[in-house]
Structure 1
Amino acid sequence: MRSKKTLVLGATVKPERYAFMAMTNLTEKGHAVVAIGQNEGEVAGVKIQTKQIPLKNIDTVTLYLNPVRQRDYYNYIIGLKPKRVIFNPGTENPEFYQLLKANNIKVDVACTLVLLSTNQY
């Protein structure tokens, strides 16, 4: 299996949050993980950044931000040129889907944890 460098947007150190579980599962399955969240911290050996840092070779962006909070990241995510963006439950955003598709970025309305557990990631 090829490692898919993944940006977890909305990362958190709270173990009960899905973003935390996604970071843990992605790491366990051998994917390179980069994380951006509101607060600094570390999950599964991955440091959570609080700024929109320049990144290269991002395969997937998995979102854990509500649509309003996503707006601050539209240009950043498009600029990363990921192959796809996963909209986890609660992050659905038709406005952003259109922008991504216009930039040839695949939109995946799915749950990262389910994709990982069913080997569809």
Structure 2
Amino acid sequence: MNKKTLVIGASLKPQRYSNIAIKKLVNHNYEVVAFGLREGSVSGVEIETKLMPYNDVHTVTLYLNPERQKAVYDYIISLRPERVIFNPGTENSEFQKVLQQNNIFFEEACTLVLLSTNQY
């Protein structure tokens, strides 16, 4: 069941949805890795400030606006995830076309809702 998840746009601020998502993923026993602007830890997950060459990433969940996503297109493609989740406010038709061209499934959904309704 363990779908290693990479949270891109991770925040140390407890009120941010990326922070809440990390906590919920950990509570649901998912392996979580995270990338953000500031180093730190959320529920034992270290937030990296450099793009790491992770293996076996199942899901990338985005918390970056479309303009900031451009810097991580190639990185995400290189990870070959099973899916990319565009959380509310991150929808990006340009990147979705790139994902389609690379046969990577994507969905516009809310990670928090998917976890709460056992659809993750």
TM-score by length of 2: 0.99
Distance in 2 (CA, whole Å) between partners of 1:74 and 1:38 is: 17
Distance in 2 (CA, whole Å) between partners of 1:109 and 1:20 is: 19
Distance in 2 (CA, whole Å) between partners of 1:18 and 1:89 is: 10
Report matched runs for 1:19-98 at 5 Å.
19-98=18-97
Matching residue of 2:112: 113
Cα displacement (A) at 1:96:
0.2
Cα displacement (A) at 1:3:
0.9
Structure 1: 4+ residue segments shifted above 6 A:
none
Structure 2: gaps of 5 or more residues: none
Distance in 1 (CA, whole Å) between partners of 2:52 and 2:58 is: 16
Cα displacement (A) at 1:8:
0.1
Matching residue of 1:13: 12
Distance in 2 (CA, whole Å) between partners of 1:46 and 1:99 is: 29
Sequence identity of aligned pairs in percent? 58
Q: Name the amino acid aligned to 2:31.
A: A
Distance in 2 (CA, whole Å) between partners of 1:16 and 1:29 is: 19
Q: Deviations over 1:69-119 (max 9, x none)?
A: 000000000000000000000000000000001101001100000000000
Distance in 2 (CA, whole Å) between partners of 1:85 and 1:36 is: 15
- The alignment of Structure 1 onto Structure 2 pairs a total of residues equal to 120
Three-state SS of the structure 1 residue aligned to 2:88 is coil
Distance in 2 (CA, whole Å) between partners of 1:107 and 1:33 is: 18
Structure 1: gaps of 5 or more residues: none
